[in-house]
Amino acid sequence: MCDQTFLAITFGPCDNCSQNKPLMNIYLKNEPINYCSLCVELMACQGLAKGETIHTLKAESETLKGKLEEERAKLHDVELHQVAEKIEALGQFVMKTRRTLKGHGNKVLCMDWCRDKRRIVSSSQDGKVIVWDAYTTNKEHAVTMPCTWVMACAYAPSGCAVACGGLDNKCSVYPLSLDKNENLAAKKKSVAMHTNYLSSCSFTNSDMQILTSSGDGTCALWDVESGQLLQSFHGHSADVLSLNLAPSETGNTFVSGGCDKKANVWDMRSGQNVQSFETHESDINSVKYYPSGDAFATGSDDATCRLYDLRADREVAIYSKESIIFGASSVDFSLSGRLLFAGYNDYTINVWDVLKGTRVAILFGHENRVSTVRVSPDGTAFCSGSWDNTLRIWA
């Protein structure tokens, strides 16, 4: 999504030729190296067999991709909406704004629910991170970050800390206490450090580890206490915009989406990219696992949301209409998995029937693009954040 894409060009001596040039931050056997573009090209050409060039290898790669798609297509025997034809349609669907949270001075970029189902953390372009009581709409804590565009925030599973970051390239963790007047900034702990902006962060199933994604094209797993890098994930060829951890019962995997139009599934233990899907026509802004962990949804700048089944290893549904021409910035499932909530850049939230592929509701209320949508842990409500500087609780 172009509005959230920032380029950081490193300039300095190349590790190979020692000349001062713009550098590319790349990883070789998980070791970071800084090479200029010429040295990267020379390194890529080393070890090529006779008659091989980068161009022929790219062509071979595309041919193999085509064969893989053909094999996938052979297993494509039926569409999801055809299987769901006999399932009863959803009845009258009414959702209203029940609370409006006002306090940010600029675009709301991210939010997350606490597991207590009541508190919310949100981050904004104004550099503020605010912890809210969603029921009373009171602000419980506020932190001013050292940068604007705080694009990522997350609540720790225990509810005792929040993590956030953005254009500072870092992920910082702030412990929370009952004392609302306490200076949280004094307790800040810098956990993760990327070479470009932080786009998303998520605690694993404990407060001790955190996953991050970044504009440097990587995802990483960090130890919160020591700040040590536990595992890095390389496979995207452009900015990674979103990540989502698999439901705890389904194992140690997560999914990421980015500006290379790819959604990648990763094994957290090995760092390997275990599945990859590339059917979107533009940046993937948001990824979210289906509650069972057997599938995930994506929202993209190509104005579609898509559902990918991990067991079938393919896309099984597209959620789109000709009248929808603006990109989808955020997606989330209802607790049952029957509904998909998607926030769009045309200020609306569309609600889709996951099985039938039809739109069951459009929610109006925000006065600028919807940047984030999150269903509460108990499934009774969901929260949306917008560039109109507000958050709304819907139920």
> What's the pLDDT score for residue 7?
35
Q: Tokens 């590790």 label which residue?
A: 15
Which one, of 387, 394, 392, 383, lies nearest residue 108 by Cα?
Answer: 387
Whether the CB-CB separation of 354 and 87 falls below 8 Å is answered with no
CATH number, residue 209? 2.130.10.10
The residue among 139, 129, 136 whose CA lies nearest residue 161 is 129
Where the chain has pLDDT below 50, the residues are: 1-9
For residue 59, give the 3-state DSSP assignment.
helix
d(CA 347, CA 385): 10
Whole-number pLDDT of residue 42: 76
Looking at residue 47, what is its pLDDT? 66
Asked whether residue 50 is domain-assigned, the answer is: no
pLDDT at 30: 62
Nearest to 372 by CA among 358, 361, 382, 380: 382
Q: Are residues 158 and 30 in the same domain?
A: no
Whether residues 165 and 28 share a domain: the answer is: no
Q: Residue 171, SS3?
A: strand
Residue carrying structure tokens 């889709």: 352
Residue 206 lies in a domain: yes
Q: What is the pLDDT of residue 241?
A: 98
Q: What's the one-letter identity of residue 29?
A: K
Same domain, 213 and 333: yes
pLDDT of residue 385: 98
Nearest in space to 393 (alpha carbons), one of 62, 25, 132: 132
Judge whether 52 lies within some domain.
no
Do 258 and 332 share a domain, yes or no? yes
Within a domain: residue 61?
A: no
Q: At what angle do helices 54-74 and 37-45 cross, to 10 degrees?
A: 70
31 found inside a domain: yes
- Domains identified in the chain, total number: 2
Same domain, residue pair 9 and 104: no
Same domain, 23 and 102: no
Q: What angle do CA 221, 151, 212 make, to 5 degrees?
A: 5
What pTM, to 2 d.p., does this model score?
0.85
Pair 324, 343: CB distance under 8 Å: no
Indicate whether 305 belongs to any domain.
Answer: yes
**What beta strand segments (E) does 176-277 contain?**
189-193, 198-203, 209-214, 218-223, 229-234, 240-245, 253-258, 263-267, 273-277
Check whether residue 377 and residue 290 sit in a common domain. yes
Same-domain pairing of 139 and 226: yes
Which two three-digit tokens encode residue 338? Answer: 């029957």
32: containing domain: 1-45
318 and 373, same structural domain?
yes
- Cβ atoms 211, 220 nearer than 8 A: yes
Q: What is the pLDDT of residue 16?
A: 84
Residues 6, 114 within the same domain? no
Decide if 109 is inside a domain.
yes
Residue 264 lies in a domain: yes
Residues 118, 176 within the same domain = yes
157 and 298, same domain (yes or no): yes
Q: CA–CA separation, 364 vs 383, rounded Å?
A: 13
